[in-house]
Amino acid sequence: MSDALVPDAVRPDAVVSDPVVSDPVVSEAADAVVSAAELERRTIRRGDFVSCNQAFIDCRTPGSDRKENYAMIGPGVSQAAGQHVNLRLPHGYNIGAAAMPHGITNNLHLHYTAEVFVCTEGEYLLRWGADGSEGEHLLRAGDIASVPTWIFRGFTNTGPDDGWMFTVLGMDHTGGIIWGPSVLREAEDHGLYLSADNELIDTVAGDEIPDGTELTKPMAREHIDRLRHYSPDEMRRRVASADDLVWSEQPFLDSALPGGGALLSCVIGFGMTEDLHQEPRIFNPHGHNVAWLRAEPGQGISLHRQRETQTLIVKDGLWEITLNRTDPVPVRLGPRDMLSVPQDAWRTVRNVGDGRGDLMVVNSGDGRVRLDWDEEVEKSAADAGFGIDHNGYVAPYALLPRSARRW
């Protein structure tokens, strides 16, 4: 059996983690010690990505037949039984990617859970509406777009052939997708059908439609007419481009300490910010939150842990993530590399490159992520005049009540 399919509970090197709970206090949680083998299992490098060009029903449709679909964390909404998934552990979200040559299109479809596009290279033209004519927006490198649920969307690579777009999908089980009516009809012309159980049937490859199988039918006009419409202005407010980002220079307790100093921009949800005045660009529930972390060489986030699952994805630069408070195990990540960090695992995040680096942070849940800092970090912050108030935000240490002052 593949390691990716072995439950944590039966792996000898597994991290034992409590389930995600609503209680934000993590200081009493048991230390989760991560082995070198577990760290390696959760490290997904660019070279580990495996594409599937038959993931969806439009894989033979001219103009859509050269798509590459990737599933790194969870299967996402792939309809191919042979889709390679790098890590199948439940995270509360799925992470994948789409790569297509110039001019190739991902056809109109609808999601039940949140779909977030993160364009890291190239350009993609996003369009939406039942026939794709309600609006369009050009996504460039560094842009993050949150597409509402229950609307049809599609996109085309309008940039170079090496364009790259990560996708973050809400929830462990996404429910699959609904294809635009014209997509299903055209697929039938190429021998492809979709069962009501979201299984792809390829009659050209020799698949037969079993007797009694219910096939997915195009959405009826009465249902299409009831879908919400989004104007280009409304959709633009759900996109965070480089010019839209608002960076907090003091997002964490260790912001003024050696080894700290990272900047944070909250894109979706409040996430892990400890800056009282920081707000995200996009507020509505996704089942996860997304932020950009930026650091100069030598800077990052000091030793801390959290209850939520977390995935770190490098946009640019060279980063070192070290897990465990004792017996530390480090890993270095470059562009497109990602790491799934176990719940309750102690971690430090550091830019070890020669220039400024950006890292995308994805945490599970719709609530705030409350960090638990190592005692030495808390002591150093107190000496520098800072502490964490009862609401989880950085505040002047001298003004905190005695119950929040430990030194």
**Between residues 217 and 28, the one the model is more confident about:** 217
Q: Tell me the C-alpha distance between 247 and 264, whole Å.
A: 5
What pTM was estimated for this model as a whole? Answer: 0.89
pLDDT at 255: 98
Least confident of 100-114, 221-235, 240-254, 384-398: 100-114
Round the average pLDDT of the chain to a whole number and report it. Answer: 90
pLDDT of residue 9: 36
pLDDT at 29: 60
Q: Tell me the longest C-alpha to C-alpha distance in the chain.
A: 74
Tell me: the pLDDT tens digits for 192-242? 888 888 788 889 888 899 888 999 999 999 999 999 999 999 999 999 999
Contact 24, 363 (CB under 8 A): no
Which band of pLDDT confidence, cut at 50, 70 and 90, is reported for residue 37?
very high
**For position 8, what pLDDT does the model report?**
41
For residue 15, pLDDT beyond 90: no
Q: pLDDT-based confidence at 296, cuts 50/70/90?
A: very high
The tens digit of pLDDT for each residue in 65-104 reads 888 899 999 999 887 778 899 999 999 999 999 998 999 8
Q: How far is CA 397 from the centre of its chain?
A: 34
Confidence check: pLDDT of 390 > 80: yes
Q: Quote the pLDDT of residue 198.
A: 78
β-pairing, 263-268 vs 329-333, is: unpaired
Mean pLDDT of 277-303: 98
For 185, phi then psi, to 5°, come to: -65, -40
Mean per-residue pLDDT for 46-69? 82
